[in-house]
Amino acid sequence: MAAVTTTARARARAEITTEIKAAARRQVAESGAASLSLRAVARELGMVSSNVYRYFASRDDLLTALIIDAYDAIGSAAEEEAAVGRRTFEQRWIGLARAIRGWALDHPHDYALVYGSPVPGYRAPTDTVSPATRVTLVALRLLADAVRSGEIRADAVVPMPRPLHADLAGIRAGGLASANLSDEVLARGLQAWTQLFGTISFEMFGHLQNVIHDYDAFFDHQMRRAARTIAGREGT
Amino acid sequence: MAAVTTTARARARAEITTEIKAAARRQVAESGAASLSLRAVARELGMVSSNVYRYFASRDDLLTALIIDAYDAIGSAAEEEAAVGRRTFEQRWIGLARAIRGWALDHPHDYALVYGSPVPGYRAPTDTVSPATRVTLVALRLLADAVRSGEIRADAVVPMPRPLHADLAGIRAGGLASANLSDEVLARGLQAWTQLFGTISFEMFGHLQNVIHDYDAFFDHQMRRAARTIAGREGT
DNA sequence: TGTACATCAGTGAACGCGCGTTCACTGATGTAC
DNA sequence: TGTACATCAGTGAACGCGCGTTCACTGATGTAC
C-alpha cells in the first residue's frame, strides 16, 4: 500500500495536473506563450485561479512544464520515425526532417515556444536540457549508422580551427551515439541541422510567404540537398 | 515656402517621432517586443500616455515602425558590407554572413522581433515586405556576381520537382538581381540562406549552449562550408 | 474496525499593479486676409 | 505688418479590463492508533 496503490487523491492530482497543462497548451496554441495566463487556464477548467497554485508554484513553472512536454513530443516523434527500418541514409534523414516539420506544422505555437524567440521575462531552468537533447540524439545515431554503413564518406575534409575541434570533441564525449563521428562528419551534421531548423522557422514565421508556394516540395528538396551535403556527394 | 521650408511644428514632430521610436526600441531591447507598452514609452519621455497617439495610431503601429526600422538596419548593414570591393566569392559571402550575425548580436531583441516567433496578436501589414527584401537582394546580387565570375559552377545539378521550378522562376522574375541565376544556384542559395539564419537563431536563442563555446570560430567555419556548398565544391 | 487528527483540494476576497484607448480641454503654433 | 481663425501638441481624468499572487477559511480525503 505504498508505491503501487494510488490513493484517490493522488489519482485526482495527476489527472488535474494533466488537465491544467492541456488547457495551458490549448491557450498557447491560440494566442502564443507570452500571453499564457494562469487565470484564463483556471477559468477554462471552471476552478478558481488561486487553486492552480496547488499544482504549479507559478506561471513560469507551468511554462516550463509546457516546454518540457513540447521537447518530449518532438523527441518521441523523431524516435518513432527513426524506428522504421531498412532504408537508406537519405531516406532516413528525410524521414526525420519530415517528422520534425510535421510536428511543427501540427503545433505551431509549441514550435515557436521552443525554437522561436525566448518568452520575455522567462528564464528556462536546467530541467529543460535533457528533454531538449532527445531529438538531437536521434540525429546523431542516424549519422553514426550511416558512417558505419559507409553511406557517409568523409575523405574530403574542410580544415577547421583548433577551438572548433575542441567543441566538437565535447559533443563526441557527451552524446553516447556520437563516439565514432569525426569532426568533419559532426560539422556537416551541424550544417544540415541548422539548415533544417532554419528552413522550418522560415516557413513557420512567414519569411517565405509569396516566395515559396509548394512548401512540401521545397522542404523535401532542400532536405535531399542537405542529405547529400552530409554524405559528401553533390549533384547527381 | 512649401515643401522645402519646414515649420517648427513639423520639425518638432519629426524629432519626437524619432524619440518615441528610440524609447520603444530601448524598451524592446530590455524586455522583448511582446511587453512593449505605450504607457512605458510615454513615461520614459516624460509625456502623458495619451499624447503618443498623436504620433502613432496604436501600439501595433508603433511595433510595425520598429519592425521596418529593424529590417532597414539589417539591410543597410548588409549593403554596406557588400560595398567592400575586390574579394573572392567566399570572402564576400562570409563578410555578408558576419555582418548579419554582428547586427544580431548587437541587437538581440530586434533580431528576435523580425526573425523570431511573431508577436502574439500582432499581424504584420504589407508595409514590412519591401524593407524585409533588402538583405535578400544583397545575397542575390552576390550570387549573380559569382556566377558571372565563374566562381559558382553549377554543372552538378540536383533534380527537383516541377512545382519547385515554378517557385524558383518566381524569384528569378521578381528580384532584379537574380535574372541570370539558374534553379540549381537559387536552390543552393536558399540552402545556405536557411543555414545562415538557422545558425544565428540557434546561437541567439540558446540552442547551442554548453555545446559550442567559441561561437565566432563555429560560425565562420560553418559559413565557409556554406560558401563551398553554393560554389559546388566540397572538401579541400 | 472505528475514531481522532493531519493533510490537502478548492473557495472567495483582496492587494496592487499595468495596460490600451477615448475624451473634453488648454494653450501654443501656423495661415489667410 | 497685424489681426482673426484654424490647426494641432500636450494634458489629465476616466473607462474597463486582466493579470500574478497571497491569505484565511471550509470541507473532504487519508493515516495512525
pLDDT tens-digit series, residues B34-52: 889 999 999 999 999 999 9
Mean pLDDT confidence for B99-116: 95
Q: Are A104 and A111 in contact (CB under 8 A)?
A: yes
Residue with CA nearest to C14's C1' atom: A50
Q: Are B196 and B226 in contact (CB under 8 A)?
A: yes
Give the residue on A whose Cα is nearest the Cα of B194: A198
pLDDT at A76: 97
Residue with cell 524629432: B15
Query: Which residues in A lie closer than 8 A to residue B230 (C-beta atoms)?
Result: none
In terms of Cα–Cα distance, which of A192, A188, A186, A180 is closest to A166?
A: A186
Amino acid present at A42:
A
Question: What percentage of chain B has pLDDT greater than the value 90?
Answer: 81
Give the residue on A whose Cα is nearest the Cα of B219: A164
Find the nucleotide nearest B59 (Cα to C1′): C20
Give the residue on A whose Cα is nearest the Cα of B113: A117
Query: Which residues in A lie closer than 8 A to residue B197 (C-beta atoms)?
Result: 198, 201-202
Query: Which residues in A lie closer than 8 A to residue B206 (C-beta atoms)?
Result: 118, 124
In chain B, count H helices and then E strands.
9, 0
The protein residues having a beta carbon less than 7 Å from any atom of strand D are A 7-10, 36-40, 43, 49-50, 53, 58-60; B 9, 12-13, 16, 47-51, 54
Per-residue cell: B192? 545556405
Candidate from B167, B171, B194 with C-beta closest to A198 = B194
Query: Which residues in A lie closer than 8 A to residue B112 (C-beta atoms)?
Result: 117-118
What does the CA dihedral A174, A175, A177, A183 come to, rounded to 10 degrees?
Answer: -70
Would the CB atoms of A201 and B199 count as touching at under 8 Å? no
Q: How far A14 CA lies from chain B's nearest CA (Å)?
A: 30
Residue A219: pLDDT band (50, 70, 90) is very high
In terms of Cα–Cα distance, which of A61, A116, A151, A173 is closest to B114?
A: A116
Q: Is the pLDDT of residue A179 over 90?
A: no
Per-residue cell: A103? 510536428
The SS3 of residue A130 is: helix
Would the CB atoms of A228 and B112 count as touching at under 8 Å? no
pLDDT at A3: 44
In terms of Cα–Cα distance, which of B212, B195, B206, B198 is closest to B93?
A: B195
Q: Is the pLDDT of residue B19 over 50?
A: yes
The SS3 of residue B5 is: coil
**Å from B12 (CA) to C29 (C1')?**
11
Angle, helices B129-148/B59-82, rounded to nearest 10 degrees? 20
Q: How far A57 CA lies from chain B's nearest CA (Å)?
A: 23
CA distance from start to end of chain A: 65
Could you give the CA distance from residue B72 to residue B69 in angstroms, rounded to a whole number?
5
In a mutagenesis test of the A interface, which of B100, B126, B191 is the best target, namely the one with the most A β-carbons within 10 Å?
B191
Q: Which of A29-33, A157-161, B78-82 has the lowest mean pLDDT?
A: A29-33
Would the CB atoms of A117 and B121 count as touching at under 8 Å? no
pLDDT at B126: 86
- What stretches of A107-214 show up as alpha helix (H) in DSSP? 108-115, 129-149, 162-174, 183-204
pLDDT at B236: 53
Would the CB atoms of A121 and B236 count as touching at under 8 Å? no
Largest CA distance in chain B: 66
Q: Are B135 and B102 in contact (CB under 8 A)?
A: no
Candidate from A196, A198, A224 with C-beta closest to B197 = A198
Per-residue cell: A120? 520575455
Could you give the CA distance from residue B83 to residue B123 in angstroms, rounded to a whole number?
34
- What average pLDDT does the structure give for chain B? 93
pLDDT at A2: 37
Size of interface A-B (CB pairs under 8 A): 192
Residue with cell 519591401: B130
Question: What percentage of chain A has pLDDT greater than the value 70?
Answer: 97
Could you give the CA distance from residue A53 to residue A71 in angstroms, rounded to a whole number?
24
In terms of Cα–Cα distance, which of A59, A3, A58, A71 is closest to A33?
A: A59
pTM, full prediction = 0.94
Could you give the CA distance from residue A149 to residue A185 in angstroms, rounded to a whole number?
14
**Å from A40 (CA) to D22 (C1')?**
18
Q: Are B235 and A232 in contact (CB under 8 A)?
A: yes
- What average pLDDT does the structure give for chain A? 93
